[in-house]
Structures are given as C-alpha cells and as structure tokens.
Amino acid sequence: MSGTADLLLDVRGLEVDIPVAGGTLHAVRGISLAARRGETLCIVGESGCGKSLTSLALMGLLPPSAKRRAERLSFAGEDLLSASPRRLRALRGDRMAMVFQDPMTCLNPSLTIGDQLTETFLRHGKGNTRAARDRAVTLLERVGIAAAANRLGQYPHQLSGGLRQRVVIAMALMCGPDLVLADEPTTALDATIQLGILQLLAELQREMHMALVLVTHDLGIVARIADRVAVMYAGQVVEEGTVGDVFGAPRHPYTRGLMDCIPQPGRTVPGTRLGTIPGMVPSLVGELRGCSFRGRCPYAMPACAEPIALREGPDGHSWRCVLPAEALARAA
C-alpha cells in the first residue's frame, strides 16, 4: 500500500520565513510530509501553528514576501522546487487541486457557477465547451446538487453555504486531480452540513483513488477521516503517524493536551473541568532552540532546551519529545 509508486507528495525539511518588523518570522520550521495515492493525510493544529502556510507552500501559492526553502518538494516524482511558474500553473488545478475554507471568498461573485466550473477545464485544454459543461453537470450531481444543469446559470450568492462548498469541491475535481488539498473545508458550516461534506470528500477520495490532504483544527474530523495525521505546533510537526497510533497512544505532550481539552459526550462528566494547556505559543520571530512546547509542558526538563531529535516507533509513528514512551501512557 505504501509503495513508492503511490507516493504523490514528498516533502522534506520545508521551511517558510516571513520578514516582519522585528526580524524574521519562522512560520514553518523544517517539516516533512508524505501523501500517498488513496490515502487521507490530516494536518492538524491550532491557529498560528503554520498549517495553512504549509498548504500554500506545497501549492506554490505563498505571498511574494514569504521565502520557501526545502530539501525536497516533489509531486509524483517531479521536483517542484525547480519547476517554472508556467509548469506550476499547468499542474495546479489539473493534477493538484485546492479547496479553500470560505466558499464565499474563493468564488467570483460576478461569474456564474457554470463559468467558474468550466474555466479550469478549458484552461487546461481538457476538451471543448460542450465537454466542459457535461463534466460540470456530472460533478455537480456527484456532489449532491439537484437540478445541476439549472445551477450552471446561477451566481454564488444564490446558493447556501453548504451548496457553495459543494460547488468549490466540484471545481477542484473538474480535471480529475491526483491530489486534493483542502484547507479547513467545513469550518464555516453547520455540523450537519459539515458531516455531509466530509462524507462526500471521503467517498470521492476512495472512488477516484486520490491523495487527500486535509488541513483542520478539529481533532474530531481527523479521527473520523484520516489515515495518517501530522500534529503541528509552532511551525513544526511534533507528532506524525497513523491516526490510530497518534490518537490511541499519543507520544507528544501537546497531542495529549489537545485531546484532554475536548469535551466528549458520554465521556466528559457534565460540570467537571476540562484539561487545559496553560500559557501561549512562543513567538516564532528569531531563533528558537529546543522544544518550542517546553514553556507550556507539564513534563519539561533541562534536556528540552537542547535540539530535539525525531524519534520513531513502528508504522512510521514519529515524534519530537525526549520523554520515555511510557510516560504519557501512565498519565492518561
């Protein structure tokens, strides 16, 4: 299942620096990720952890002021670091597509749904207008939009939030991409609508044998949809592995802490206090040494101020923490 032929996205040591008033903000600090065909990888973390910048960096869509570096950044064996802007434009929307958080801001309010759906298809030379229209109708039906042919003439404001997000997903699928990168695709939606969108993404991912990279802050979504999960904190992946390993036996105190913060019906006793993570994320301006979580970590020790090596367990479970593996299991 994890053969190299299926490896679509291969990222090693990705860094994103942003110049700010007081120096350089190291927003993404040396992360490594892999997304395979037929697999769902979730990148999870809280605001400011660098998860959205990571997804933009992967797509080559960073703002001009941001600096990207990596040891390796390849898509289906092709080096994206040395690819020309023209080549990147040819790949984006065709073989790698993106679904953004807010469907209201990523749809053009002055163009019809039909125009926006067919645009990518026509631009990438996938066929004529007729074929583009047929493909748009097929995909709108596939994402659960009734009377799809009639919708093509409608404008974004005529659709509800849930329908708009379905349109955005259909748009991403127009050219039959190998990789879909979705950044918080359901955050603006109601839980009931969110569930429908997630089911749809999971189904399409299986059906089209794509790699799905889902960026979210919601551990509940991750648990239910991911094969693998990368937990980000302060610009680094602090823990990565199969969702069963990471959620079942977290090795990093931050992952453990996040799990304890969530109220869970049937498990959290009403009126009892939830776990908290005291303190704040450290500033990422300037050089950071050692574990960036140590200021908030209940297990912090002198060794945490030294550079933390990546440790590895079975099934590719890896984490950046000096604690013995049993320490957190006992605390749970």
Task: Tell me whether residue 83 or residue 195 sits nearer to another protein (CB atom).
Answer: 195
Strands 96-99 and 179-183: parallel
Q: Which two tokens mark 212?
A: 């799905």
The total of other beta-carbon atoms located within 10 Å of residue 220's CB is 12
Site stretch for another protein (CB under 8 A), options 121-129, 168-176, 267-275, 305-313: 267-275
**Least distance in angstroms from the C-beta of 64 to another protein:** 25
270 binds another protein (CB under 8 A): yes
What residue spans of 82-160 are helical by DSSP H? 85-91, 103-106, 113-123, 129-142, 148-151
Q: What part of residues 22-41 is at the interface with another protein (CB under 8 A)?
A: none
315 binds another protein (CB under 8 A): no
194 binds another protein (CB under 8 A): yes
**Least distance in angstroms from the C-beta of 255 to another protein:** 10
28 with 53: CB under 8 angstroms?
Answer: yes
314 binds another protein (CB under 8 A): no
**Least distance in angstroms from the C-beta of 304 to another protein:** 19
List, as one string, the DSSP characters of 11-28: EEEEEEEEEETTEEEEEE
Site stretch for another protein (CB under 8 A), options 13-21, 55-63, 269-277, 322-330: 269-277
144 with 175: CB under 8 angstroms?
Answer: no
**Least distance in angstroms from the C-beta of 264 to another protein:** 5
2 binds another protein (CB under 8 A): no
DSSP 8-state secondary structure symbol assigned to residue 285: B
**Least distance in angstroms from the C-beta of 46 to another protein:** 4
144: left (phi over 0), alpha (psi -120 to 50) or beta: left
SS3 96: strand
Amino acid at 50: G
Q: What part of residues 200-239 is at the interface with another protein (CB under 8 A)?
A: 202, 217-226
**Least distance in angstroms from the C-beta of 245 to another protein:** 9
Q: Which of 1, 5, 21, 146 binds another protein (CB under 8 A)?
A: 146
- Cα of 316 vs its chain's centroid, Å: 19
181 binds another protein (CB under 8 A): no
The total of other beta-carbon atoms located within 10 Å of residue 272's CB is 7
Give the binding site for another protein (CB under 8 A).
46-47, 144-146, 160-163, 190-196, 198-199, 202, 217-226, 243-244, 247-248, 257-268, 270-277, 280
